[in-house]
Homo-oligomer: A and B are copies of this chain.
Amino acid sequence: MQNLLEHIDKFVSLDESEKELLLSRISYVEARKKQFLLEAGKPGYKLFFVLKGCLRLYLITPKGNEQTHQFVIENWWMTDYLAFHNDSVSGFYVQAVERSEVAVLQKSDMDFLLEKIPKLERYFRLCYQKAVGAAQKRISYLFSLSAEERFHNMNDKFPEFVQRVPQYMLASYLDFSAEFLSKIRAGKV
């Protein structure tokens, strides 16, 4: 959990008793590859923080395709935020892309912690502020680049990440078919 404490420490400083209280309300989970942390149709009252590894958030379209919305690596929070905000069932799956170590925060525990440690409001406000910015950026790539440009942009900026995840997941993240990604890589487009 050291990673999480360090991440929080970048934004607000907690004393030892606060850290202890925090850790008493956060659980630790090891997820093996492909394991689900959250499933569509089930209650979405949890936030996940990646300590190590990689998670993805995806949904299944009416046609039955997987669409990856988000990949999250070390030091990011993720969940279905609408379900989390509204205390409703999740529309998304959260799945481990590789063996991962994850901190899990139930919403009720988050509420408890925010009440006891108001400084955490600031921490989450800043995390969310960054998350909204990242979501805006993501939409601008989807909007303004062609499929091929989206792949090359990704490959230029995060080459190690492109190696790290299966191509079909990456294709669904970039919003085109796995076959098309294969053709882009082969230069056949």
A141-176 toward B: CB 8 Å interface, digit per residue (1/0)? 011100000000000000000000000000000010
Is A132 in the interface zone, CB < 8 Å from B? yes
Is A62 in the interface zone, CB < 8 Å from B? yes
- Contact-size category for A: 35 or more
Give residues in A with beta carbon < 8 Å to B: 57, 59, 61-63, 65, 67, 69-70, 80-86, 91-92, 114, 118, 121-122, 124-125, 128-140, 142-144, 175
Copies in the complex: 2
Q: Residue A118 contacts which of B86, B121, B128, B131 (CB distance < 8 angstroms)?
A: B121
Contacts of A131 in B (CB 8 A): 128, 132
Contacts of A70 in B (CB 8 A): 136
Q: Determine the distance from Cα of A85 to Cα of B92 in the docked complex, in whole angstroms.
A: 27
Interchain residue pairs A-B with the least CB separation, the first 6? A82-B133, A135-B135, A128-B128, A81-B133, A61-B144, A121-B121
Closest Cβ–Cβ distance, residue A178 to chain B (whole Å)? 15
Closest Cβ–Cβ distance, residue A52 to chain B (whole Å)? 23
Contacts of A122 in B (CB 8 A): 114, 118, 121, 125
Closest Cβ–Cβ distance, residue A118 to chain B (whole Å)? 6
Contacts of A121 in B (CB 8 A): 118, 121-122, 125
Closest Cβ neighbor of A60 among chain B residues: B144
Q: Determine the distance from Cα of A144 to Cα of B81 in the docked complex, in whole angstroms.
A: 18
- Contact status of A142 and B140, CB under 8 A, knowing A128-B129, A129-B85: no
Closest Cβ neighbor of A70 among chain B residues: B136
Closest Cβ–Cβ distance, residue A89 to chain B (whole Å)? 14
CB–CB B133/A136 < 8 A: no
CB–CB B67/A144 < 8 A: yes
